[in-house]
Chains A and B, each alone.
Chain A
C-alpha cells in the first residue's frame, strides 16, 4: 500500500478549475518528482494534499487514513511536512524561534535545533536574528531546516532551488538528499537536473492533469520525454 495516494482530485480557485482529476501515489521511502511548466497546478497539488486548498471532489489518503476535509493542522500532525516555494518564514520571529515552532512537542528543543544547525551551520550563526532580516538563501535554508526537524514521515517540497545562487542550491540539494534518505518526499522542482538526481520516479503535470509518469533511471534533463510538457 502506498504511503500517499491522491485519487481523481479536482481542485478549484473560485471558478477556475485547477486540478482536473489528478491521481498519483508515493510509496514509503520513495522520492517522487512532480514536474511541469509554470502554472500547470504543481503547487496546487501540494496544497490540496495538505488541505490548504481542499479538493471539491476526489480523495487524499495518507498511511491508509482519509485526509480529505481535515483541517491542515491535523494533516501536519499526521506526519506530513510542507516546505513552500515562497519560504513563508515568520519574519518577526528569530531563526531559533522559527525552528522551535516546527518542533513537535515530543522532540526536545536541543535535539531539534542541533539537527537544523548541523545541516546548515549558517543558521546557528544567525540564530538570534529575525527571519525577515536573512538573505534569500538563508531563508531557504531555514525553510528546509524547518521541514527537516518536524519529524515528518512525508515531506512535500515545493521549488527548493528557485531563485537561489548556485552555491546555495548545492547546499540545499545536499540537505534534501539527506532528507530523502530519512523520509518519503514528493518534490516539485523546475530544475529538472536536480529533480532527476533526487527522485526515484516522476510525474509530469500539464494543465491540471497527469500526462506522463515513470522511473527516473536512465533519464536525463534533456530527455525526449520532458521535451513536450516540461521543457517547451
Chain B
C-alpha cells in the first residue's frame, strides 16, 4: 500500500517538475490571483479606508454576477458571437459598476453612516443582516424567473464567447482563453485602483481622510462624502468581480456565490494585512499560486478535490501564527 503511494507520488513529482506543468500552474495561479484580487479589493478598500468590515461584500458580488449575467443574456443570449459577447461584457461592467456603486452609496449613507460612532460590533451585525436580506432577495427574484438559485446560471455561462472558451498555445503549454482574460482584467483593476488612489486629487483626499479624518476635515475635505464614494467604489468593484465570475465554470452566478466569495476574500484580506491594497495583491498572488499548485496535485496525483480549499485556510493559519497582522498590516485602520 505504502509502496504504491510512494510510486504514485514519485510519478506525480516527475510530472509536476516539467515545463508544461509548471507553466500551466503558473498561469492558473495568476488567473486565480486575479479573481481573488477582484473579489477582495473592494473589501480591503472599505475596511482599510473606513474601518468597516462589510459582511455583505459577498452578497454584492453575487448581485453583480446576476446583474452582469442579465446584461450578457440580453445582449449576447442565444448563439453569442464573440463581438456581441465581449461588447455585452464591457457594457455589463459599466452597468454593474454603476448600479452596485449606487446601491453601495445608498447603503453607506442610509445605514452605515449613522452607526460610525458605535462599536465595530454594530457594523458587523448590520452588514451580516444585510447579507442575509440580499441573499434572500436574490433567491426570491431568481426563483420567480424560474432560475435554479443554488447552481450556476447556465444561460449566463453560455454567453461566454468562443474566443475565451478555446485554449491558446503559449510557451510550453496550452492556456485557457478565460484564464488570460481574467489575468488581464485583474491587472486592469489593480491599475485602476492604484491610479485612483495615487494620481487623483480625490484619491489623495481618501488617503488623508483614512489616516486622520479630523485633520482632513479641518483642511476642508468633506470626509463623509469621501467615505460614501469609497463604499460605492468598493461595492462597485465587488459587483464587477461577480460579473467576471459569471463566465467561470467553477464559480458562475448563483446565490451561494455570496458565501463562496466572502470566505476567500476575507482570507486574502487577512493574509495581506487588513486594509492594505498592496497586501491584498501580494496575498492574492500567494493564495492563487498555492491554490493552483494544490489543485494540480490533488487532481493529478492524489484524487481528493476538496483539499485545495483546505490549503487556503491552512495558509491563513500559518500566516497568522507567524505574523498576526498579515504581510503589510497596520495597527489601526479607518479614519472616521
Q: CB within 8 Å of B: which residues of A? A: 50, 52, 71-73, 76-77, 82, 84, 88, 90-93, 97, 100-102, 104-105, 146, 150
Contacts and interface: CB of A to CB of B under 8 A. Distances in A.
Contact of B221 (A52, A73, A91, A92): A73
A82 B223 CA distance: 17
A101 B208 CA distance: 8
Contacts of B214: 52, 72, 88
A146 B204 contact: no
A92 B207 contact: yes
A97 B203 CA distance: 11
B201 interface: yes
15 contacts: A52-B218, A71-B217, A73-B217, A73-B220, A76-B220, A77-B220, A90-B207, A90-B211, A97-B204, A100-B201, A101-B205, A101-B216, A101-B221, A102-B219, A146-B219
Interface of B: 201, 204-205, 207-208, 211-212, 214-224
Given A73-B223, A90-B212, A105-B201, A50 B218 contact: yes
Given A73-B220, A73-B222, 5 more contacts: A76-B217, A88-B214, A90-B211, A93-B208, A100-B201
A84 B214 CA distance: 11
A92 to B, nearest CB: 6
B25 to A, nearest CB: 36
Given A90-B211, A91-B211, A93-B211, A71 B204 contact: no
A100 B224 CA distance: 20
A76 B204 contact: no
Contacts of A52: 214, 217-218
A153 to B, nearest CB: 13
Contacts of A104: 220
Contacts of A82: 218
Given A90-B211, A91-B211, A92-B211, A72 B204 contact: no
A88 B220 contact: no
A101 B223 CA distance: 13
B204 A100 contact: yes
Contacts of A101: 204-205, 208, 216, 219, 221
Q: Is the interface of A mostly helix, strand, loop or mixed?
A: loop
Contacts of A105: 201
Pairs of residues from A and B, 7 with the lowest C-beta to C-beta distance, nearest first: A76-B220, A72-B217, A88-B215, A82-B218, A73-B217, A77-B220, A101-B208
A102 B214 CA distance: 13
B208 A90 contact: yes
A46 to B, nearest CB: 10
Question: In this complex, which of A90, A105, A146 has the most chain B Cβ atoms within 10 angstroms of its Cβ?
Answer: A90
B67 to A, nearest CB: 34
A90 B215 contact: yes
A73 to B, nearest CB: 5
Contacts of B217: 52, 71-73, 76
Given A73-B217, A76-B217, A105-B201, A88 B212 contact: yes
Contacts of B208: 90, 93, 97, 101
A82 B217 CA distance: 10
A105 to B, nearest CB: 7
A144 to B, nearest CB: 14
A100 B215 CA distance: 14
Contacts of A77: 220
B222 to A, nearest CB: 5
Contacts of B223: 73
Contact of A72 (B205, B211, B218): B218
A90 B206 CA distance: 12
Nearest to A77: B220
B156 to A, nearest CB: 41
A82 B215 CA distance: 9
B294 to A, nearest CB: 35
Nearest to B221: A73
Question: In this complex, which of B212, B216, B218 has the most chain A Cβ atoms within 10 angstroms of its Cβ?
Answer: B218
Contacts of A91: 211
A150 B207 CA distance: 19
A91 B219 CA distance: 16
Contact of A76 (B211, B218, B224): B218
A76 B223 CA distance: 13
A102 B204 CA distance: 10
Contacts of B218: 50, 52, 72-73, 76, 82, 84
A84 B221 CA distance: 16
Contacts of B207: 90, 92-93, 97
A76 B215 contact: no
A90 B212 CA distance: 7
A149 B315 CA distance: 48
A150 B201 contact: no
B215 A84 contact: yes
Nearest to B211: A90
B142 to A, nearest CB: 42
A31 to B, nearest CB: 20
Contacts of B204: 93, 97, 100-101
Contacts of A146: 219
